[in-house]
A and B are shown apart, each in its own frame.
Chain A
Amino acid sequence: MKNHKRILIISKSTADISTEDVIDWLILFGNRPERLNGDSIEDFKSHSITFSINDVGELISNTGMTGSFYAIWLRRWSDYSSLIETKRSFDNSVSSDLVAHIISQLTRDLTVIENFILSNIRCVKFLGSDNKKHGNKLNNLLLAKKHNLEIPEFILTTEKTSLNQFFEKHNKKIILKDLSTTFNYELGSILYTTYTELITEEDISNFPNKFYMSFFQKYIEKEYEIRCFIIETKVYSMAIFSQMDDKTKVDNRKYNFQNPNRTVPYSLPLVIEEQLINLFSDLKLSSGSVDLIKGLDKKYYFLEINSDGQFGMVAECCNYNINYEIAQFLCS
């Protein structure tokens, strides 16, 4: 069986297991996909790649990535994590302020390159999406509400008085959330990271009267969480019983290694599945992950979309054939 359709897979690196798994299905279908790894652009020491424009104004590269593709799967672009290495490579004589400036400049430059490449490779079928484009949590919440999905009430405020009102309104149960990505900070050998936490009365009393605009959300008492992976009109759901464990009650990223949260296949009500599919089509997203909560009030709350989210865990825990579905989509 041979399948000569040109398929391009854009991924972070060769170490991405999900990418490898999908490629293995494509190989079985007789296809040899081409690859572009985010880290081959970032990690110049171990890769050599040059882009230019040909006579007819097409983007070409020395690695043969030229012309147009039948299908492109944007698994995920690099998260620029190799810049941490770059940061470490400066010696102490360079001021940390200058290093920070250089790193943020590099990040911006890499983003320009990323946007340029992503908008200049052509294909008939496109799967995946750019988290940087679809990752606006606030937009997504509003749009979810438009599609009749339940969302936890939230405010964006700079005022302690408004915060206090919101706090009282929701029976003193609210959370503070990151708006963009998780904040990671390395100090010595310890990695500090932000988690979603319940705000206490004491916390608020320690806040100044005015602060940087922050995002507060009503805390939903949950029965369990649900993670879905959506590809076109198929929804694969998994329930996560994090409520049984105090460590992961508010934020299941605080993983309990000894006693992992119970994760099992789940079947969402059809109405909810339809609302999610409509939301995705509104966002022009062909695939991505969604986090939901099933509240004790029996309602399903939409939390957020991760368009380049990992689906490996959902596929593995529930024995869903997601890798196969993706490979099928790309070559049929």
Chain B
Amino acid sequence: MNINFYFTLFSNCIPVKGAVRSIICDLQRGSYLFISNDIFDVLTSCQTMPIFKILDYYRNINEVELEILFNQLIEHNLGHYCENPDRFPKINTQFNSPYEILDCIIELSDCNLKYIDNIFESLTILGCQTIEFRTYSHFSIEKMEIFLSKLHLTRIRNVELIVCHSELESLNAFEAILKKYPIIETLVIHSADIDSCKTIGASNLIFTTQKITSSSCCGNISKEDFKINLPFYLHGLKNNTCLYRKISIKANGDITNCPSLEKTFGSVINLSLEQALNTIGFKELWSIKKDDINICKVCEFRYICSDCRAFLNDVYEKPFKCSYDPYSPSFHNLS
């Protein structure tokens, strides 16, 4: 080891310190590695100090131990030795996007079907890229197709369809839908008899026994749902990762931040989405980031964990449906 060199983590491998332990988030490969908080401190200093200075500064760690640590990190492809760290700048955290709305959730209903042209026109103006259609109970495929057939008039690029399993619709009909509308990335059929999944073209068809019978089924926080990628991390630094630039339309036409939130900002029956978006309070929750939320702010998972601002007593409280305690540190079973 050349102690005149630096050892730096790759700029898309971000160390995050928690209450009692830390992780390195590999935003490129979508994984994370636990490290102790002491190692977090050493690695943070490593970004600006050559190795000999680190040895000088951290008297409790010797050269052999340090080299073992670095070699482990190199093995995990998380960092490298370099002569001049200035050549490897940090990733710019300013995330710019030309879209006023990124995601829209629409509960499929006769009411929304009636106003679909207005809704899609607004979403086009707002630049919406991703849409999620949901049904909590049976909704006919013919009606669903009316929504899908108008998508090409919008700027939407990704579609997720979450529908309820029903004896009334055949599997073939769903497969035909996926073939006809390749824009649908994922079709989830909930309340199914078995869990299974297959691909049709480039789309996923997922059957789940889970029952999504109302909007209160959302908001679970679990390790399985961690999102470890650069755009998510950049959003999370400055904004709420669940609600930022999101708009939802409930089955009765109410415009809300998300289907699980009670507060409505008008109805598609008499208001455009742009108008609702500019109503006082619509963007209030957008800026609540993990760093502002009690407990989450000391949690090492805070930049890879999705958030939920619906099920809680106070908007600065950690999600009710999270069972993780960063102090213990462990996941408890929700009782």
Contacts and interface: CB of A to CB of B under 8 A. Distances in A.
Q: Do A and B bind each other?
A: yes
Interface of A: 20-21, 24-25, 27-28, 239, 241, 244, 259-260, 262-268, 316-321, 323-324
Interface in B204-235: 230, 234
B28 interface: yes
A265 B91 CA distance: 7
Contacts of A20: 157
A9 to B, nearest CB: 15
Dominant secondary structure of chain A at its interface with chain B: mixed
A27 B98 CA distance: 8
A317 B28 contact: yes
Contacts of B95: 319
Contacts of B88: 239, 264-267
Interface of B: 10-12, 28-29, 77, 80, 86-96, 98-99, 127, 155, 157, 230, 234
Contact of A264 (B10, B96, B127): B10
A20 B98 CA distance: 11
Given A317-B28, A318-B91, A319-B92, A28 B98 contact: yes
Contacts, number: 63
A260 B29 contact: yes
B320 to A, nearest CB: 33
A239 B155 CA distance: 33
Contacts of A319: 91-95, 230, 234
Contacts of B234: 319
Contacts of B94: 319, 321
B11 A27 contact: no
Contacts of A264: 10-12, 88, 91
Nearest to B78: A262
A306 B80 CA distance: 29
B29 A24 contact: no
B24 to A, nearest CB: 13
A244 B29 CA distance: 15
Nearest to B96: A321
A56 to B, nearest CB: 37
B98 A25 contact: yes
B178 to A, nearest CB: 18
A200 to B, nearest CB: 29
B97 to A, nearest CB: 9
Contacts of B127: 24, 27-28
Given A318-B92, A319-B230, 6 more contacts: A20-B157, A24-B127, A260-B29, A265-B90, A267-B87, A324-B96
Contacts of A324: 96, 98
Contact of B99 (A24, A244, A263, A316): A24
A324 B92 CA distance: 15
